[in-house]
């Protein structure tokens, strides 16, 4: 009889021990640590659905949902839904903190690895103890200084409410998605993390018309200086990223395997006498994520009108299995019903256009979109993509997309 209490004690030990290893629900503050001390900070929250942990990474109004979370004793493995990106972490004895690494695959074959720490609690993304010196809401002309010399243009779209600062940064190829931070006195801080983008910005606010002494930190070591001047009419020159059809070559010809191994070509019967939207993308590309979300929903709601879509994926490597695995996660995440074809070249191949779509001038940015009329001829090519973080720019993109498709359907 004396053995029963002992057995109960052992059983209770294992039950409570297992419970102690659960990730704590609620808000967490995380930091990807850089050697220069300019850590990339962000917040996430953890909740439980059917007793399984669900992580939601917070960037402004976006909540990026992550469900592939595995806890084994004090080890935590978090597989991001795309970008070949994951965390290997260890829960600390207090149960309130995590330490480990964020790992992301690259096109070079050498992974990016950054030390990661996170602490449970409602600690803000950035400190904001000082009253804002001014309000910097609006559009800003940015000049970003390249490390090797020269500059590149960008536009900052900022929204300030009290000390809270949100917005995005636009370049000729796309946007930096959802940024969140603060104005603290005469300083600004912004950051984002989505599994690929790992950015932090800091700068001095000269007045409500100038931002100076800025630095843009990306990943483990990249750093660029920047300054900005307020300009409600700021525009970007998109000429350098535009794609054109070569004279007399307005009919494309390609055939590649999809993620299930079936070969699909643009001359297949399913595309004949249809308006066709061709997406040039990669599963490594955050702006492609936003475009895929839009295109997948649009196709699902409009395919009965005589529209077809097909994606051409330019991946990090020519390893078919690696590409297939990454693209399938993309397909499942956004319920993509149209075929995703795997091109035989990498995204970094300087001859990627000549090897896949020789009828076009160079593909310089991802994503890009090609529109074919019912006659199979290229009617329009749109380079780059401004997603939901850009507000009015995204609304304008949707309007132009729908106008283009409707016009081609009416022909």
Condensed to tens digits (0 to 9), the pLDDT of residues 217-273 reads 999 999 999 999 999 999 999 988 999 999 999 999 999 999 999 999 999 999 999
Q: Where are the domains of the chain?
A: 22-120, 138-230, 239-410
Q: Is the pTM of this model over 0.85?
A: yes
Instruction: Please tell me the distance from the alpha carbon of residue 284 to that of residue 84, in angstroms, as a whole number.
Output: 7
Q: What are phi and psi of 328, to 5 degrees?
A: -65, -35
Condensed to tens digits (0 to 9), the pLDDT of residues 277-325 reads 999 999 999 999 999 999 999 999 999 999 999 999 999 999 999 999 9
What share of the chain has pLDDT > 90, as a percent?
Answer: 92
Residue 100: beta bridge partners? 89, 116
Nearest to 326 by CA among 311, 310, 342: 342
**Tally of CB atoms within 10 A around 362:** 15
Provide the CATH topology of domain 239-410: Glutaredoxin (3.40.30)
Instruction: Please tell me the distance from the alpha carbon of residue 98 to that of residue 44, in angstroms, as a whole number.
Output: 13
Instruction: Please tell me the distance from the alpha carbon of residue 80 to that of residue 65, in angstroms, as a whole number.
Output: 9
Residues 6+ apart with CB under 8 A from 321: none
Contact of 116 with 104, CB cutoff 8 Å: no
C-alpha 183: how far from its chain's center? 24
Pick the CATH number of 22-120 from 3.30.300.90, 2.40.160.90, 2.40.30.170, 3.50.50.60: 2.40.160.90
Mean pLDDT of the chain: 94
What's the pLDDT at 2?
44
Structure tokens at 212: 């100076």
Top-tier CATH class for 138-230? mainly beta
């Amino acid at each position: 009889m004396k053995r029963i209490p002992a057995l109960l004690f052992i059983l209770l030990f294992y039950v409570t021990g297992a419970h102690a290893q659960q990730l704590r629900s609620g808000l967490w503050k995380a930091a990807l640590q850089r050697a220069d001390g300019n850590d990339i900070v962000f917040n996430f929250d953890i909740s439980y659905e059917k007793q399984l942990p669900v992580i939601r990474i917070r960037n402004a109004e976006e909540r990026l949902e992550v469900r592939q979370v595995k806890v084994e004793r004090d080890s935590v493995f978090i597989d991001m839904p795309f970008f070949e990106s994951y965390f290997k972490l260890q829960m600390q004895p207090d149960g309130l903190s995590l330490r480990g690494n964020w790992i992301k695959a690259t096109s070079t074959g050498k992974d990016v690895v950054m030390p990661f720490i996170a602490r449970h609690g409602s600690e803000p993304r950035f400190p904001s103890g000082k009253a804002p010196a001014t309000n910097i809401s609006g559009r800003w002309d940015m000049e970003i200084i390249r490390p090797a010399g020269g500059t590149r243009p960008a536009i900052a779209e900022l929204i300030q409410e009290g000390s809270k600062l949100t917005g995005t940064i636009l370049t000729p190829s796309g946007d930096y998605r959802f940024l969140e931070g603060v104005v603290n006195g005469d300083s600004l801080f912004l950051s984002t993390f989505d599994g690929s983008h790992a950015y932090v910005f800091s700068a001095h606010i000269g007045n409500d018309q100038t931002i100076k002494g800025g630095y843009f930190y990306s990943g483990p070591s990249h750093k660029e200086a920047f300054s900005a001047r307020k300009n409600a009419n700021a525009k970007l020159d998109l000429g350098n990223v535009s794609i054109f059809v070569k004279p007399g070559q307005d009919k494309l010809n390609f055939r590649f395997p999809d993620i299930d191994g079936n070969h699909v070509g643009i001359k297949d019967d399913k595309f004949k006498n249809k308006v066709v939207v061709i997406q040039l993308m990669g599963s490594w590309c955050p702006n492609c994520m936003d475009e895929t979300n839009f295109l997948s929903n649009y196709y699902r709601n409009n395919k009965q009108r005589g529209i077809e879509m097909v994606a051409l994926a330019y991946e990090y490597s020519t390893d078919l299995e690696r590409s297939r695995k990454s693209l399938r996660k993309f397909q499942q995440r956004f319920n993509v019903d149209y075929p995703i074809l795997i091109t035989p070249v990498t995204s970094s191949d300087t001859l990627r256009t000549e090897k896949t779509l020789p009828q076009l001038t160079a593909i310089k940015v991802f994503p890009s979109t090609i529109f074919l009329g019912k006659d199979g001829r290229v009617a329009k090519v749109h380079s780059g993509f401004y997603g939901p973080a850009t507000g009015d720019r995204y609304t304008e993109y949707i309007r132009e997309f729908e106008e283009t498709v409707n016009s081609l359907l009416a022909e």
